Chains A and B, each alone.
Chain A
């Protein structure tokens, strides 16, 4: 039942609003609302019970194994939340003066420094609010760089066919045309196709490394050389940074600009779809164009850096300074891990993925890139099961939910048919991985003997499989009071 359906006129959480209701003096009637908005009228306990129960209908990291590829669903340490919510931090106004901001700014400045170090970039701006906004900032900087040199012929961004959808969408938002290049059968970028695509029209290339197919791009140095020789710049999509944290740095691979997903690699919460945080790091030549504000330190005091300090900045991306509270959580996480903990993230994420890949392959599942080393994630293709048993990757995904595991990412990347992109993350114990393998093996056996039970899954969740077509055709996007 919706909260709106529990509403009764005259009921409310009386403790939560002021006792008095002063008249709205000096506001002309024509600017006033004629009746109160029809929001729910419920007691405090009703609301608490309702939202507690709703929460219980979710899968989450705190309750389930959640091996969603490319999303890095790792444990979100509770301290990161409770310390970021300390009164002096959570109640700080974004325009509080420097005199009342040194503690906060120190955290941000140190986070900038740490992110520079782990990415090998020269400078970092923390303001992008999510990965996709980081991409927008990054590609806008590439464009600002070419524009500042009067190099207006560079109209094209190269994107591998396996890239995240945000890559081409971002390039278009920055006024670029998108040129796709294929991925080879071994998972690496097709260098010959790249060479053919490069030219005086190339503004840059957007790459994820390890790539979206879960392997490390072995010829990255050669790719960087080719792109730079052609006059283009390299953009690093940091979605998979967890795989290489402290092991390899995008700056050392030759990338000019990178965004990081702090809600992945730095374990800030995914929150049911945000808030994210997508700081950008750049090489020397892109430094003048970084989005503002950033935090500076003169040896004594911390202060904001703005248009005055960065006259060529691409500008602002939000009303204030991005998702500051998320940045604090990432900072706290980084301090808890420390330098030795950063490397361990990559090591144990990779260990878990390779173990899970091996076990699944032993259990009869086909790896998409069996000759390659898995990174922090890997792809299983269920094309054989789909063809021979009529049980699709989506069916497997839904049946996994019945086993108490969240499904891996399905049908991405699009170039591998019937695929699962599986990322276990470093915080999962061996027991959880084994339990996932058992569930997969069980479903495979079911698919062979009783495929209907898989095809009609899930059976044990609050709802059975939902009709997406109906949702799109008969749009019902809000509750309406029944007449």
Chain B
């Protein structure tokens, strides 16, 4: 029996101890009319060899196309050691570290992670992760409504330059809590948030302003101006950032007026670029950092350093009085499990790359994306859309229907980018493209050549 070690003799002995004749007798408290018939949709079991053949066939069917899509999930180099260590049974098959003394490996690692994230974000404190970037932002929004002492408002300013499914996720999660999301327009020239549109909300009562960096178009926002606007108007500033970009860009803790050095109040985002493979969109992890003063409003697990009864340093879950298993209906969130294994990978990834390694990866992403954008924009019928500076993604406009072009590229095993038509119809035939440090000059040339051919063939037709 797969994964069940019992011999017939074991079973006989156990039933005798219990005092029943058959295993089925152990289900005698279940009303007989509720007993299930045989399953219909679950096929007969396979051996590992057969399962392996099936999955290999499925994996092969999907191929390994050359990928120029980003849009919130980025293909990066991950050191081999990261997942070799992460999938060690002692990390992979452990539970949430409720028994601290038997979980010092995970707990110390999480403390190291919190230390790394606060360094990367230049923030005071970090939690031990949330599910993903989008749901993490929803938790951040709920946190601002609880935590903003200057405002009782349940309204949030949210730029349309923020990832569309992040906005959708926030709407779902906060949907039943009478919180209003007010969207801010895009500056159609630069691709940034329209600061004039933002100014029109000056003096109004909002709990928070959300500030993406880079934004969904890859464009860099004027984060200092936005942070100052938030603080001047009694709002909390919530940064939603790409953590890899923070190795080279000004981190949230330093945003805003340099004299007062106010900084974002909460920094959150998608941790995937730190060692998580693309894996069809998950599992990733949401990170969240905040100012010290807000720590008791932060959701999720938090690890603290403490001492044992002989005075030795050890690590434990702390501030559990915020959490659902203690506070029940009065908890800061219903979140229970987080994304521990992904944080394990991220911690090892950051240790292996270090600040310099992450900065090099980030700088190469930037250079490759600029090269890609320049190559593509040189093609007849392709142009850059926004003038604002970008990190590692950018938008091009095509003289042909985007979906058709993407389909033609996919036929040649190349994923040419993310079609913006669904989320931003006002941008026309716009395509969001990304070239990480993994894309070589040859890859970029291949894309350029293929797109040139496709656009030329359309001209001829």
Tell me whether A273 and B301 are in contact in the complex, defined as CB-CB below 8 angstroms, given that A249-B36, A427-B4, A478-B125 are known contacts.
yes
**B119, A173: Cβ atoms closer than 8 Å:** no
Q: Mark A354-383, 1 if CB is under 8 A from B, else 0.
A: 110011000000000000111000000000
Tally of contacts, chain A with chain B, CB under 8 A = 687
Measured in the bound complex, the distance between the Cα atoms of B100 and A172 in whole Å is 30
Given contact pairs A27-B220, A77-B2, a sample of 7 additional A-B residue pairs in the complex whose CB atoms are under 8 Å apart: A18-B361, A75-B3, A76-B93, A348-B23, A398-B99, A409-B98, A477-B125
Query: Taking the complex as formed, is B328 at the interface, i.e. its CB lies under 8 A from any CB of chain A?
Result: yes
Query: Taking the complex as formed, is B14 at the interface, i.e. its CB lies under 8 A from any CB of chain A?
Result: yes
Can you list 24 residue pairs at the A/B interface with Cβ under 8 Å?
A2-B111, A12-B357, A27-B220, A27-B389, A33-B250, A37-B119, A39-B354, A40-B351, A47-B348, A47-B351, A62-B93, A66-B95, A68-B95, A87-B59, A88-B60, A103-B59, A273-B95, A275-B337, A339-B39, A358-B18, A462-B104, A464-B309, A465-B101, A472-B321
**B62, A430: Cβ atoms closer than 8 Å:** no
**A60, B54: Cβ atoms closer than 8 Å:** no
**A30, B95: Cβ atoms closer than 8 Å:** no
Complex A-B, nearest 6 residue pairs according to Cβ-Cβ distance, in ascending order? A338-B45, A320-B281, A62-B89, A271-B341, A94-B281, A103-B58
* One of B96, B101, B280, B295 near A464 (C-beta < 8 A): B101
**A428, B334: Cβ atoms closer than 8 Å:** no
**A30, B224: Cβ atoms closer than 8 Å:** yes
**B91, A17: Cβ atoms closer than 8 Å:** no
**Residue in A closest to B61 when the chains form the complex, CB atoms:** A103
* One of B120, B249, B281, B352 near A32 (C-beta < 8 A): B249
Query: Taking the complex as formed, is A276 at the interface, i.e. its CB lies under 8 A from any CB of chain B?
Result: yes
Select the stretch in A213-221, A226-234, A384-392, A442-450 that faces chain B: A213-221
Interface centre among A42, A57, A71, A140 (most CB of B within 10 A): A57
Q: How far is the CB of A136 from chain B (nearest CB, A)?
A: 6
**A107, B58: Cβ atoms closer than 8 Å:** yes
Measured in the bound complex, the distance between the Cα atoms of B166 and A470 in whole Å is 38
Q: What is the number of residues of chain B that contact chain A, defined by CB distance less than 8 Å? A: 204
Within A19-34, which residues are at the interface with B (CB < 8 Å)? 20-28, 30-34
Measured in the bound complex, the distance between the Cα atoms of B254 and A475 in whole Å is 23
Chain B contacts for A93, CB-based, 8 A: 67, 69, 73, 75, 278, 280, 415
Within A434-476, which residues are at the interface with B (CB < 8 Å)? 456, 458, 461-468, 470-472, 474-476
Main secondary structure of the interface of A (DSSP, over half): loop
Within B47-83, which residues are at the interface with A (CB < 8 Å)? 47-48, 51-52, 54-65, 67, 69, 71-73, 75, 77, 79, 81, 83
**A325, B280: Cβ atoms closer than 8 Å:** yes
Query: Taking the complex as formed, is B377 at the interface, i.e. its CB lies under 8 A from any CB of chain A?
Result: no
Query: Taking the complex as formed, is B428 at the interface, i.e. its CB lies under 8 A from any CB of chain A?
Result: no
* One of A16, A31, A55 near B249 (C-beta < 8 A): A31
Measured in the bound complex, the distance between the Cα atoms of B23 and A351 in whole Å is 7
**B283, A326: Cβ atoms closer than 8 Å:** yes
Measured in the bound complex, the distance between the Cα atoms of B99 and A286 in whole Å is 39
**B316, A466: Cβ atoms closer than 8 Å:** yes
**A315, B339: Cβ atoms closer than 8 Å:** no
**B54, A335: Cβ atoms closer than 8 Å:** yes
Query: Taking the complex as formed, is A165 at the interface, i.e. its CB lies under 8 A from any CB of chain B?
Result: yes
**A430, B13: Cβ atoms closer than 8 Å:** yes
**A101, B125: Cβ atoms closer than 8 Å:** no
Query: Taking the complex as formed, is B262 at the interface, i.e. its CB lies under 8 A from any CB of chain A?
Result: no
Q: How far is the CB of B441 from chain A (nearest CB, A)?
A: 12
Query: Taking the complex as formed, is B237 at the interface, i.e. its CB lies under 8 A from any CB of chain A?
Result: no
Q: Mark A84-119, 1 if CB is under 8 A from B, else 0.
A: 111111111111110111111011000001101110
Chain B contacts for A132, CB-based, 8 A: 324, 334-337
**Residue in B closest to A4 when the chains form the complex, CB atoms:** B115
**B2, A42: Cβ atoms closer than 8 Å:** no
**B310, A339: Cβ atoms closer than 8 Å:** no
Tell me whether A273 and B128 are in contact in the complex, defined as CB-CB below 8 angstroms, given that A18-B437, A91-B64 are known contacts.
yes
